[in-house]
Structure 1
Amino acid sequence: MRGGYANFIVHNRKGTLLISTAHIKPKNWGSEPAAFQPSAIHQWLARRRITISLVGFTTLVLFNVFVMQPIPRNPLAITSLGSLAGSGLLWIGLAVRSWSAGTLNKTRELTMVGPYSLVRNPLYVGSFMMMMGFCILCRDWPTMLFVAGPMSYLYWKQVRFEEDKLSRMFPVQWDDYIQSTPRFVPVRLNRAVLGGWSLFEWQRNREHQAVVASLLGVLGIWAWFVLRTST
């Protein structure tokens, strides 16, 4: 492994599971157990995280729109710090997702390039940034708390569940894997970040759907802003 950076890409019948390397203390420091054994409730939450997230997220968004009825921020404004913060998180998060999806190669191999040489879960990082950006633009504080709390907990359990699988599939490489790159926050740059992106992989992983959804979401927030401020 060049520079100690590695990513595992696993393809199975249910899809592709991709997690890159980690930067943590050695096991004998007591920072993390040698093997995470997910309980039944953890596995249940991991399998149903998308359904739970969608139900909770949609319910809170509808509550914010029809009950709290805030005036959203203008996503096109460049003089408002709130609008800049929300739009910045949204577009940077989308860029991280697109970078990650274009680097993801659905085969059994060890990769050491792109965002997966920096953090193990760049797709989750990008998605979290996008959700927080949308919440800021919508002034949707209940949903922001839901994203920062319950949703983060659900996806944390999913990450641990996936890493447990990989630790058993790659027992020899796993120690080096978890000592190289953090889960979510990068701590160093390297040359590997410059390579590996492919438009073919980006299209094959259907990341264009996230781009279209984001554009429609921003357009909807702008229309909502115009409607609320013109009446």
Structure 2
Amino acid sequence: MRLLDWAFGRRRTRPRPAPPLAGESHRFRSRYRVGLGLPVVLACGWQAQPTSRSLAAGGVIAFLGVLVRALAAGQLHKHHGLSTSGVYALTRHPLYLGSAVMAAGFSLAMNSWQGASLLACYLVVFYPATMRREEQRLRSRYAGDFDDYVARVPCFWPRLAWPPGTTFSWALYFHNAEYQAALGFFAGVALLWLKLYGGA
């Protein structure tokens, strides 16, 4: 229940400072989250058994995830203040939300419970710890301002509302290298397309 409360942002009181994450498990996840990403993707591609319908439906969902990430990256001023407007007024982790939507889309597109399970395990193992670590870093930098933000905005699942004060900057989008997510999306779709029509 604590994990659900944290993800849905049910706790509205001022949070207590979280203790530092430590231990071998956290160090492993911090060190290997990116490094294990490619092997997981390749394993998922090997397990994939896409159909034309699964690829079309899953591709649309995954593209929505790309759009969520793009919107978040175009509003994120790293190291220049706490981002609390636009999509960041609906969820504290819109980039990870977009990644989860992309993962859901590709899970459908793969049409493989083995691949979908592997992708889900990767997200569950690495993403919650990564989000907690980032929140500790922001709390240490912005103190009370971040605590107020936590009290107002859900951690992961967003409010169903139009983002207030929405602005988007292509300069920020490219500065934050978010085009990499778009390239990954097209590469994933191409891989599944080849798997379906090329006999891969």
| TM-score interval for Structure 1 and Structure 2 normalised by the shorter chain | 0.7 to 0.9
- Find runs of 4+ consecutive structure 1 residues off by over 6 angstroms: none
Per the alignment, residue 195 of structure 2 pairs with 224
The structure richer in strand per residue is: 1
Decide which structure has the larger Cα Rg and report it: 1
Per the alignment, residue 124 of structure 1 pairs with 96
Per the alignment, residue 25 of structure 1 pairs with 11
Per the alignment, residue 127 of structure 2 pairs with 155
Per the alignment, residue 32 of structure 2 pairs with 48
In 2 relative to 1, CA 101–176 (structure 1 residues): closer, same or farther, beyond 3 Å?
A: same
Deviation at 1:178, TM superposition (A): 0.9
SS at match of 1:103: coil
- What 5-or-longer segments of structure 1 have no aligned partner? 1-21, 75-79
Please tell me the root mean square deviation across aligned C-alpha atoms, in Å.
2.6
**Conserved? CA contact 1:102–1:197, under 8 Å:** yes
Per the alignment, residue 142 of structure 2 pairs with 170
SS at match of 2:97: helix
Q: What is the percent sequence identity of the aligned residues?
A: 26
1: CA distance between counterparts of 2:59 and 2:27?
34
**Conserved? CA contact 2:69–2:98, under 8 Å:** yes
1:127-138 matched pairs, under 5 angstroms = 127-138=99-110
TM value normalised by structure 1: 0.72
SS at match of 2:82: strand
The structure richer in helix per residue is: 2
In 2 relative to 1, CA 187–220 (structure 1 residues): closer, same or farther, beyond 3 Å?
A: same
1: CA distance between counterparts of 2:103 and 2:182?
14
Per the alignment, residue 51 of structure 2 pairs with 73
1:97 has 2:80 as partner: no
Deviation at 1:188, TM superposition (A): 4.2
**Conserved? CA contact 2:13–2:151, under 8 Å:** no
**Conserved? CA contact 1:121–1:184, under 8 Å:** yes
Deviation at 1:219, TM superposition (A): 2.9
2: CA distance between counterparts of 1:227 and 1:58?
17
TM value normalised by structure 2: 0.81
Q: 2:20 aligns with which of 30, 37, 45?
A: 37
Deviation at 1:52, TM superposition (A): 2.8
1:205 has 2:176 as partner: yes
